[in-house]
Structure 1
Amino acid sequence: MANTIEVKVPNIGDFESVPVIELLVAEGDTVEKDQALMVLESDKATMDVPSPAAGKVTGLKVKVGDKVGEGSLVCSLSGQTDAAADDAAADADADADADSEAPEGRHDAPPSEPEGHEDEKTAETAESAGGPARGSARQTQAGPYTVTVPNIGDFESVPVIELLVAEGDTVEKDQALVVLESDKATMDVPSPVAGTVTSLRLKVGDKVGEGAEVCVLTPADGAGDDDDDDDGAADDAPAQQTASAETQPAREPPAAAKAPIADTPEAQPNAGPQAKTTAPATQADGEPFYAGPATRKVARQFGVDLSKVSGSGARGRIVIEDVQAYVKAELAKPAAGSGGARAAGGGIPPIPAQDYAQFGPVETKALARIRKLSAAHLSRSWLNVPHVTQHDDADITELEAFRKSAGDYTEAKLTLLPFLIKAVGLVIKRYPEFNSSLAADGESIVLKGYCNIGFAADTPNGLVVPVVKDVWAKSVGELAADCARLATTARDGKLKPDDLRGGCFSISSLGGIGGKYFTPIVNAPEVAILGVSRSSLQPVWDGANFAPRLLLPLSLSYDHRVIDGAAAARFVVLLGALLADVRRWVL
C-alpha cells in the first residue's frame, strides 16, 4: 500500500544553520532514491541532500535562502509502498544514530563523534605519527611534511578535479591544495602548515581515499614548531578532514564548489601539476564562478564549459537552470546566424571580418527573421547533402496553349505551377525514391506513401516554402486554388506552421523573373528539388525543318546518397514527356 514519508536533513556534522542555495526539485516531481533534492553551502563545503527513497514530492518545505540544520524537514514523498517507506525510515534512523560515520556520502561534514573523544583521538593519532595534531600530514625525519588526504567519511575513491598548486609553489597554512568531488559533495584538501611544495603526488583525474599522499611540503621556518605548540590544532582537525578548511581570503565563499578542469577542452585528466592558480575557477571575464556537484554533473552530461556560463543563483552561483539555458542558447545560435561558421559546422573557418567603411560610406541593415532561418537551413543542407544537378529542356508548346484555353474552367487563375506540381506528382509515383528521406543513421531510406509538394515563394521578408498537400488526389484546378491561397498567405506573412510542414519534394520557379539554368539547393530532409527557369521560343529540328518551340529549362538537384545519375536522368525525361503532351496524364 502506498505511504508517505518525511525527508529531513541528515547529519551534517557541526553545522547548525546552513543556507539552501539551490532547489533541484519542485512540487510534484518524481525522484529516484539518492537523487539530490537540494544543495546546501556552509563556509566550508557544498553538500547535496539526497532522497532516501523513490517517490513523488508532495510537500516542499524549504526555499532558496532558508537556513536548515540536522532534522529540518525538507519535503514529503508519496507513492511509496509500505516496504519502501519502512526501508527509507530505517535508513533515516540509521543516519541519525550513526554518530561516528557520515551518511553514505550524502554530505561532506566531519564524523559526529563527541567533541572530547574526537579531540583526544586526533591528538593521539598525531602523537603516534610524530607529527602535528592535524590528521592530514606526517613529518619525515628530515623535516618535510607528507600531506595526505584526511578523513573524508565513507568515500573510498574520490576523483581529483582540480589542482590548485604546482611544484615549487609557496603555500600558507590552511590554503587549499587540491579539490575532490564525489557524486554528492565537493571538498578541498588544505595544507596543514605553511611551506613550499617540493613534490606533487597527484594529477587531475586520479582517484584517492583517506591517507592517499597529496604532496610533500618543506615547512617554512618555525612552521612545524608553531603547529606542535598549537593547542587548538586538534580542535580544527575534524572540520579539515571532511569539509575542507577555510582557504585564503581571495576565495569567496572559501570552499565554494569549483568547475572541474575536465569540463574544459584544454584540460585533460593527465594535465598533471600544471595548474598554478590558487583562486576559484574563473569565467571568461576573469570573475570566479561557483557551482554545486549536481550542476556540474549536468554540465558534464551536456559537455558544457562552466567558465562560459553566467550564474543566476546567490552570489553568482551557477545552477542547473543556467546550464540548461546556456545549452538552449547554443543550440539556437545557428538559427540566429546567417550561414556562418556555426551554422556551417564541420570546423569550417569563418569568413574574416572586414571594415567596409574604410572604402566608402556603408549602411547596416538587419536581416529579416525568415532570412536568418533560411540561411541556417540552406547552409546545413548544402554542407550535408552531396548535390548533383541534372539539366534538361521540356517542350511546353502544347501545354501552354492548353493552359491559356482552359482558364475559364477553373475558379483560380491557371499558371504553369499547378501543372508542374501535378506532373511531378505523377513522376514521383513512378520513381518513389524521389519521395523518400534518408534515415538518421544513414543505413536506410524512408519511403512515403503520400505526396506533398512545396513551392518556393518570394515574399518581402524572404524566401518561404509553403506545402501543397495530397497532390495525388487533387486535380490541376484544385492545385491552382491551393497555390493561389498559399502564395497570398505567404506574402501577407500569415502562413501557419502546418502550411510549411510535411513536404516530400520542392519546386523553385524563377520563370516569372528570367534566367536559364541554376542549381537549387535540396530542401533536406527531402532528397530532390526541381528548378524551373523562364521558357523561351527556340528553333527545334523536327526531322525535316526547324520549327519554333516553347522550351522550359529544368534543373533537378538531388541527394546523390539516395539517387544516382541514371535515376535523375529518367526523372527529367519522363517529366519532359508529360509536360510535352498532357494526354499522357490520363494513362
Structure 2
Amino acid sequence: MGELVIEMPDVGEGVAEAELVEWFVKPGDPVLEDMVLAAVMTDKATVEIPSPVNGTILWLGAEIGDKVAVKAPLLRIEVAGGVGEAPETSAQMVPAAANVEASSSYAEPHPAIHEQVQKPLASPAVRLQAKEAGLDLHDIRGTGPLGAITHEDMELYLAKGAPARSKSAEPARKTEVEEIRLTGLRRRIAEKMTLAASRIPHITYVEEIDVTDLEDLRSRMNEDRTPDQPKLTILPFLMQALVIAIAEQPGVNATFNDEAGIITRHSAVHIGIATQTPAGLTVPVLRNAEARDVWDCATQLNRLAEAARTGTVLREELTGSTITITSLGALGGVVTTPIINHPEVAIIGVNKIMMRPVWDGNRFIPRKMMNLSSSFDHRVVDGWDAATFIQRIKALIETPSLISIEYVVR
C-alpha cells in the first residue's frame, strides 16, 4: 500500500491559485484512474482534476469556495499494489505511514466500482442544470467516460419526461431559508461586475433602429443558404456594422488601464459575446471580426456559444476582447443598462425586436423596431463620440446593403 498526494495543478498562464468549486468524491470513496476528483476555477476557465491511479480517497484538503495555491496538497489517495510513479505536475507519492487520517482497506477494483461512489459523476455545469430543473442525478443514466452524466444525457432524460411532482391538496406554508455561498463562476461574475461598476463611470446611450429591411434580407439569405452555411441571426450583421463604425471611431475599440492611465486602441476587432450558460455568464471572444464576412461571423458565433454552454470553451477564447456585445434575445426588453466588460470602454446591448407603428410622413405603417442600449466609459469616450458611433451603426443596420459594400471595399 502507498499514499498519493494530489497537488493543485499548475494550469499555466501565470496562475498562482485556483478556487475549488466542486468535489466529486469524499473520504472512503473508491476511485478509478482518470475518474474526475474535483473541479477548480481560475480567472479564465474551469479545470477538472482526474485521478492518476486506482485507489481510495483518504483526505480532502480544501472546502468548496477555498482558494488553493498551485502545488499545495489537495487530496490524498491510498493506492493498492504499492507506490508507483506519479505525474510531477499534479501529484507526489509519499509513504503510507505519513497518513495521519483514518483509512479503510481497499481491494483490487471490480467492474462496478464506479457504482459504489454515492455521488453521480457530472461536471459543475451539468449539476447546476439538474439543480435548476429540480432533478436528481441519481435518476439519470450517464453515458460519458466512467458513467459521467453529460448534457446530452440530461436532454434525453427531460425529453422522455421527468417524473411529475405530486401536489398536496392545500399549499403548505414554507418557512425554510437557504444560504448559498458565492463560489466558482458566480463569484467571478460578482467580482468583475463590482470592479466594473465601482471603477467605470458609465454613460448609457439608447437609440431606436428600424430593422425591417435587415430582417427581410436575413430571411432571404437564410432561405438561400447552402447546407454548410449557418442560420443567420441579427448578431453577425451587427458585428459587421461594428467593424465599419469602429474604423471611423477607433476610440471605442480600446482597453483602459486606469491604474497606469494608459488607453490602448486596438486595430483588431475582437468581439466579446456575453453568453448565458448553465453555470453563469461567460464572455467568449470572436477574434478578428474585421477579417470575416457575415457567414464566417455566424459560424464562429455558433461555435463559441455552444462551447460556452457545454463548458468546452478554451481558456484563450475567454480573454482578449476589445469590445463586447450583450443580447438577451427575445427576453431583451425595451431598454437595458449594460455594464462594461472591464477593462474595455464600450459594450453594445441588443434589445428585442418589436413591431411598432411608425409615421412615414403621411400615415402610420408597421415596422420592425429594435433598441440598442449601449454603455461607454465616460472617462475616455465623450458623449458626442458615443452618439456618433451608435448613429453610424444605426445607418448601416437600417440600410443593410451598405454593410456588404463596405466589406468589399475593405
2:337 maps to what in 1?
Answer: 519
**8 A contact 1:439–1:445 mirrored in 2:** yes
2:356 maps to what in 1?
Answer: 538
Unaligned runs of 5+ in 2: 1-66, 71-173
The reply on whether 1:464 has 2:282 as its aligned counterpart is yes
Post-superposition shift, 1:514? 3.8
TM-score, with normalisation over the residues of structure 1?
0.38
**1:555/1:514 CA distance change after superposition, 3 Å:** closer
Post-superposition shift, 1:439? 3.5
Measured against aligned partners, the alpha-carbon deviations of 1:532-564 in whole angstroms (never above 9, x if no partner) come to: 111101111111221111111111100000101
Measured against aligned partners, the alpha-carbon deviations of 1:477-500 in whole angstroms (never above 9, x if no partner) come to: 000000100111111011111111
The reply on whether 1:362 has 2:177 as its aligned counterpart is yes
Could you tell me how far apart the structure 2 residues matched to 1:570 and 1:563 are?
11
Q: Which of residues 244, 248, 252 is equivalent to 1:430?
A: 248
RMSD: 2.2
**8 A contact 1:536–1:551 mirrored in 2:** yes
The reply on whether 1:392 has 2:207 as its aligned counterpart is yes
Letter in 1 for 2:302: A
Post-superposition shift, 1:369? 1.5
**8 A contact 1:396–1:579 mirrored in 2:** yes
Unaligned runs of 5+ in 1: 1-325, 330-358
The 5-angstrom pairing of residues 310-329 of structure 1 reads: none
**8 A contact 1:393–1:554 mirrored in 2:** yes
**8 A contact 2:253–2:266 mirrored in 1:** yes
2:239 maps to what in 1?
Answer: 421
Q: Which of residues 548, 552, 559 is equivalent to 2:370?
A: 552
Could you tell me how far apart the structure 2 residues matched to 1:390 and 1:379 are?
21
Could you tell me how far apart the structure 1 residues matched to 2:238 and 2:250 are?
17
TM-score, with normalisation over the residues of structure 2?
0.54
Give 3-state SS (helix, strand or coil) of 1:512's partner: helix
Could you tell me how far apart the structure 1 residues matched to 2:326 and 2:240 are?
15
1:493 maps to what in 2?
Answer: 311
Could you tell me how far apart the structure 2 residues matched to 1:394 and 1:492 are?
33
**8 A contact 1:520–1:529 mirrored in 2:** yes
2:187 maps to what in 1?
Answer: 372
Could you tell me how far apart the structure 2 residues matched to 1:555 and 1:546 are?
25
Post-superposition shift, 1:440? 4.3
Q: Which of residues 389, 393, 398 is equivalent to 1:571?
A: 389
Letter in 1 for 2:221: A
Give 3-state SS (helix, strand or coil) of 2:336's partner: coil
Letter in 2 for 1:409: R
**1:493/1:449 CA distance change after superposition, 3 Å:** same
**8 A contact 1:436–1:527 mirrored in 2:** yes
Could you tell me how far apart the structure 1 residues matched to 2:242 and 2:332 are?
22
The 5-angstrom pairing of residues 1-12 of structure 1 reads: none
**8 A contact 1:390–1:556 mirrored in 2:** yes
**1:509/1:549 CA distance change after superposition, 3 Å:** same
**8 A contact 1:537–1:550 mirrored in 2:** yes
The 5-angstrom pairing of residues 20-99 of structure 1 reads: none
Measured against aligned partners, the alpha-carbon deviations of 1:236-259 in whole angstroms (never above 9, x if no partner) come to: xxxxxxxxxxxxxxxxxxxxxxxx
1:353 maps to what in 2?
Answer: none
Letter in 1 for 2:189: S
Post-superposition shift, 1:374? 1.0
Measured against aligned partners, the alpha-carbon deviations of 1:2-35 in whole angstroms (never above 9, x if no partner) come to: xxxxxxxxxxxxxxxxxxxxxxxxxxxxxxxxxx
Could you tell me how far apart the structure 2 residues matched to 1:514 and 1:561 are?
27
The 5-angstrom pairing of residues 179-578 of structure 1 reads: 360-367=175-182, 369-407=184-222, 408-409=224-225, 411-578=229-396
Could you tell me how far apart the structure 1 residues matched to 2:68 and 2:220 are?
58
Post-superposition shift, 1:415? 1.0
**1:442/1:547 CA distance change after superposition, 3 Å:** farther
Measured against aligned partners, the alpha-carbon deviations of 1:299-333 in whole angstroms (never above 9, x if no partner) come to: xxxxxxxxxxxxxxxxxxxxxxxxxxx9979xxxx
Give 3-state SS (helix, strand or coil) of 1:393's partner: strand
**8 A contact 1:368–1:461 mirrored in 2:** no
Post-superposition shift, 1:438? 2.0
Give 3-state SS (helix, strand or coil) of 1:463's partner: strand
Could you tell me how far apart the structure 1 residues matched to 2:259 and 2:184 are?
31
Could you tell me how far apart the structure 2 residues matched to 1:365 and 1:438 are?
34
Letter in 1 for 2:362: A
Measured against aligned partners, the alpha-carbon deviations of 1:70-119 in whole angstroms (never above 9, x if no partner) come to: xxxxxxxxxxxxxxxxxxxxxxxxxxxxxxxxxxxxxxxxxxxxxxxxxx
Could you tell me how far apart the structure 2 residues matched to 1:391 and 1:522 are?
15
Higher relative contact order (CA 8 A, sep 6+): 2
Give 3-state SS (helix, strand or coil) of 2:207's partner: strand
